[in-house]
Amino acid sequence: MVRKCVVGTKGQITLPKALRDKYHFFTGEEVVLEPQKKGVLLMHAPSVLRGKFRGKLDIEGFEKDIKRIHEQWKL
């Protein structure tokens, strides 16, 4: 799936909706750009799990479980 986008005057690009949906990128999400020999690799930031697990598990339940576990393990 090859898609094109345009670099705007402020250096911004808009990811095509098909790619945002397929790879679960959300408005305001932090991403990582990694230089490669042939271009730039766009990835979810390591601290953001929501996009990676979208559609694979119940996000709300997952986040509640993580918060509960975090509270239990606080010193």
pLDDT per residue, tens digit, the chain (75 aa), is 677 889 999 999 999 998 888 888 888 888 899 999 999 999 888 765 555 556 666 666 777 877 877 777 764
What confidence score (pLDDT) does residue 59 get? 64
Q: Which two tokens stand for residue 55?
A: 């559609």
| Residue 39 within a domain | yes
pTM value is: 0.55
Give Cα 14 distance to the centre of its chain.
Answer: 14
| Residue 6 within a domain | no
- Of residues 16, 42, 40, 15, the one with CA closest to residue 31: 42
The H-or-E segment that residue 40 falls in is strand 39-44
What confidence score (pLDDT) does residue 11 get? 93
What confidence score (pLDDT) does residue 57 get? 61
The domain total for the chain is 1
| Residue 11 within a domain | no
User: In terms of residues, how long is the chain?
Assistant: 75
| Residue 2 within a domain | no
Q: Which domain holds residue 58?
A: 17-73
Q: Which two tokens stand for residue 22?
A: 């397929």
| Residue 5 within a domain | no
What confidence score (pLDDT) does residue 23 get? 86
